[in-house]
Structures are given as structure tokens and as C-alpha cells.
Amino acid sequence: MEFVSTRGGVRCGFIEAFLQGLANDGGLFVPAHVPKVSKDELKSWRGLSYQELFLKIAAPFVGDEIPEQDLKKLVHDSYSTFRSPEVTPVQPIADGLYVLELFHGPTFAFKDVALQFMGNLYAYVSQKYGEKIHIIGATSGDTGAAAIHGVKSKEGIKICILHPHGKVSKVQELQMTSLLDDNVLNLSVRGNFDDCQQIVKELFSDVAFKSEHSLRAVNSINFVRILAQTVYYFYAYFKVADDSMTEEIHFSVPTGNFGDIFAGYLARLMGLPAGKFLLATNENNILERFVNDGVYRPENFKTTYSPAMDIQIASNFERYLYYLHGEDGAAVTRIMNDFREKGLIAAEGDTLRRVQSDFASYAVSNAACLETIKDYNERHGYLLDPHTACGVAAYERMFKNGGGKCVALATAHPAKFDEAIAECGIRQTFPEPIAELWDKPQRMTVVDSDKQQVIEQLLAFFK
């Protein structure tokens, strides 16, 4: 399959899109055409294992660039590390509400679903094509740990992760900084996630630097992240929907960088009978304001109990704009240039009505997040992490009364956010791999939110 940039200036194949991450014109890669899944195919996929389903969905995107047996091995190796044989099991919680548990991978977060596969794919490409792999990424907490665990000690790969200093949970920090492998560099940036993300974007936009140092992307700017996450929307649908394969199932998605919810949107473009995507945010609610009012404009950053959603500028939003504006790369370029100059994207009229047909959105306050954790623990005996709690609180507000079946994405294990759980007066038992973290030494370098300081660290690391 051919991939194109959202800004229209680049076309390439699957592996090249994977290696480039961010297109050289500053856009993000999307498929030149979205493969369609028929109703008969959906019915035939229903009984497949997660790994078998992954292969069915990925095949048209990969094309003939990876031999079938090689792809099978990559998928098998990637998901053999998960604690659940289902990989992403679905749990019924209350009438009409299901939770899709995405936290059964090595770092107890949904990012493992994509990054275990991407880590193995990077190793495969490095070995097969002799490619040098220097991965750089920004994280609000979970991406960094999952990416590092996906490539630690892999030959031919080095990885540098930027995280906001003091603005991730202690477990997230330890999962990143307690891995002392020589191919890992952790930079703790004095700033917030948007500062980290901006530095990474600027490095990838510097085509000469990117090429000279073989920079590769691990954030959801990389389309392979999106592709891998698309699979669990189909998997959850098959677990919840009736046999007709026409029942519309809603999804409530805790949303920060727009990658996870865009994966669901892509699944619907492919033919998944998804209903409404409920975009759940916290008090950093730029996306809620866009869906409800048509105004996308960053405001004051707020620190919350759901730090992975403490984001004002969502990188993957550009992919949605591409489809919203009829796959017109020139239009997206104009919109993104205006946003860079004016700090505003606006939608009105028919455009806003289309947005509201695709998504509903609700912003959950810190207090409501904690109250939802306490309520579901008491009434249903199910402990939610604060991000999942935002998704469930949004469901309660928007879909609970007669809205049909809804799957809420559980994006992390509650043990990763014990600060919030403790605020609820709940004492939880840590899984052994997390409990062991406190006895491990840490290694990280603290830097200012300054691209030049980051470059100096990278040049020394890449030697």
C-alpha cells in the first residue's frame, strides 16, 4: 500500500512510512486509500484470536513488504509477553457498559499493545536492511516506558525519551528510569508534555538532522502505532455486539494526543459498525471545546490526576483534519500554517456538524474523576485508573440513559497511578513487577526545555 502525507507532499510505502515517522513536509502519514471490510468478512473474523485478527487487519496496509511468515512471527513474538491470553480482554461492568482492558502488557498500559509490535518491527527492519535505528520520543508517562521496554537491549537500536520533569506518576518515572540498558537515554525536561513534544517535532522537521542521525519516531505520529491500536476496536466489537454485525457500539476513549481515538475512527472508516466515539478529556479540554464549539485553541495548562491527558496540542488531530477536509493536503497545510501563526483552528456550519456526527465529548473535572473511582470501586468492585475513570464518567454523563452499549477503554492499570487512588481512600495491592520498582536504581538526565540542550545530549548518546 502507498502512504501519503496529510500535507500532500510525500508518498511512500509501508516500511518507509514507518521509518520516517513524521513526513518530511511536516505532515503525518495516512494510507492513500483506506481498505474496506465487508459484512461477510466481519462475520468471518468474529472467532479469531487477537493475533489472527491483527494479521487480517494489518495485511492490506503492509502489502508485500513483509513476507507473511515474517509478519506472523512478529505478531506472535509481540503478544506472547502479555499476561492475558486474550491480549485485550473485555469485562462487563454494568448494564450497557463494558471495559476494554488494555493494560495486560509489560508496562501495564495501552501503549504496550502498539509498542511491543513496533519494537520488534524496528529490530526486524534493522537486521534485514542494515538500518540504523535512533528512536526519539516524547511521553506524558506511558509511551516512554512502553517504548523502552519494547526495544531495550535490542542490537542496532538506541532510544531517547523526553518526559516532563515531576509531571508523571512515580510508577511511570520508575518504569522508564530504572532500565539501565546502554541503549536507553531518559531526559527529564523542565516543562510540560507539550514542551517535550514540540522539541521532538522540531527535530523531526529538521530534515537534514533527522536524516544524518537516522531519527525514528515512536510516538503516535508514527502510523504503525495507529494501525496496531485499530485492532482492539474490532476485537472489542466482536466481544460485545450481537450476531448481526450491524449493531452500533459506542466507544468512550480517554483522549490526550488523539492517537487512540483516531485508531477507532480509522476502524470505522474501514467498516467497523461503531456508533459514536465519546472523546473523554480532563480539565485540559481543548478537544472538547473543538467538538462542542468548533474552537481549537490552547489555553492554560493544568496538572491533573490523569497526566497522560494533560495535553493542549494533540499531534494526531491533524490526521482527523485530513479526512474532515476531504483528504485535501493543501487545505490541511493552510490550516496548520494558520494554527502556527494564530494559535486557532475553527470549524463551523456543515464542518462542525460533521465533527459532531463523528464524536461526542465531555471534560471530566479532577473531583469527578476521583468520585468515579470511588463509586465504581464501591458499587461494582472494579478499580479504575484515573484516565479510565474519565472515560467512564463521560459515559455516565452522555450515554448511560438509553444510549445503547458502550465500551470504555481502560488505558492503564490503577497501580500506575496510586497517587490518585490514595486520594480516594483506597489502598490497592501492587502487581509484583510494579512493587519491585521501588528497590531499583534510577538513571535520568534533567535538562531545560531547550532544543539545543536536547541535541547536545543526543549527539553524545548517538556516538
Alpha helix positions (H), 242-283: 259-270
Neighbouring C-beta atoms of residue 316, cutoff 10 Å: 24
Neighbouring C-beta atoms of residue 350, cutoff 10 Å: 8
Residue listed under C-alpha cell 492554560: 300
| Integer Cα distance of 55 and 72 in angstroms | 7
Active-site residue, 111 included: yes
Short-list 115, 158, 161, 159, CA closest to 141:
161
- Give the DSSP H/E element, type plus range, for residue 407: strand 406-410
**Burial group, residue 452, by CB count within 10 angstroms (0-12, 13-18, 19+):** exposed
* DSSP SS3 for 213: coil
Residue listed under C-alpha cell 487512588: 421
Q: Are 109 and 175 in contact (CB under 8 A)?
A: no
Short-list 431, 442, 437, CA closest to 103:
431
Residues paired with residue 404 on neighbouring β-strands, in sequence order: none
Task: Please report, for residues 86, 101, 113, 406, the alpha-carbon distance to residue 47 in angstroms, rounded to integers and kept in the order given.
Answer: 12, 19, 20, 21
Q: Are 61 and 31 in contact (CB under 8 A)?
A: yes
Residue listed under C-alpha cell 502512504: 3
| Integer Cα distance of 386 and 369 in angstroms | 6
Of the residues 36, 72, 73, 111, only one is catalytic, namely 111
Short-list 399, 319, 335, CA closest to 94:
399
List the catalytic residues: 111
